[in-house]
Structure 1
Amino acid sequence: MNLALFYYMFIFSVFSFIFIRKHLLLCLLSLEFMVLSLLFLIMLYCLMFFSMNFYLYVFMMTFYVCEGVLGLGVLVSMIRFHGNDYMNSLFLW
């Protein structure tokens, strides 16, 4: 039951990332939701198969925190230089 819940969380976060592309903040939130579901899946598998070995969990959590900080830094610099977080304000093709 719990495993299916985390799979649904991941699939809904992927769909929200695909369909909501206008704001950078919403893209970052859907990416963090995706990362959170993957982190829960890793924790569940670590508890089930590796008998409470959390080294992989801490290692992945470190990378996810760095990814979140990098995304917030990009968001802040984009708002400072462009005035908003719309993706079409970057003049992308």
Structure 2
Amino acid sequence: MNFFFFFFFFFGLVSLVYIRKHLLLCLLSLEFIVLSLLLMVFKVCLSFVSFYLYVMFMTFFVCEGVLGLSILVIMIRFHGNDYLSSIYLW
């Protein structure tokens, strides 16, 4: 069963590396990675019967998702699209 979690994590990383044109697609692949990490933490919490760690990770992951969506909304308002090539990093 652990193989599936690592497969999901690896597939999320591969999709993040190969699909870097739109910010929304990058956020979706990051959420896929987060989902695989959350499933791994859930499995660990099931074996140790402590769900405080799981709730803490869920809180961090929800904050990460909200932050990504707010960056997406700000980028669309200022640039008119979500292409990562339309912003100047340097």
TM-score (norm 2): 0.96
Tell me which stretches of 4 or more aligned residues in structure 1 moved more than 2 Å.
Answer: none
3-state SS in 2 of match to 1:91: coil
- Residue number in structure 1 paired with 2:10: 11
Partner residue of 1:78? 75
Q: What is the CA distance between 1:45 and its match in structure 2?
A: 1.1
C-alpha RMSD over aligned residues: 0.9
- Say how many residue pairs are matched: 90
> One-letter code of the match for 1:85?
D
> Residues 28-85 of structure 1: CA distance to partner in whole angstroms, max 9, x if unpaired?
000000000000000001112x1x2100000010000000000000000000110000
Query: How far, CA to CA, are the matches of 2:41 and 2:89 in structure 1?
Result: 36
Does the alignment pair 1:89 with 2:66? Answer: no
Distance in 2 between the 1:87 and 1:61 partners?
27
3-state SS of paired residue (2:74): helix
- The offset of 1:3, in angstroms, is 1.2
Write the distance in 2 (CA, Å) between the matches of 1:30 and 1:83: 22
| Alignment match of 2:50 (pick from 31, 50, 53) | 53
Q: How does 1:57-72 map to 2 (within 5 A)?
A: 57-72=54-69
Alignment gaps of 5+ in structure 1:
none
Unmatched 5+ stretches in structure 2 = none
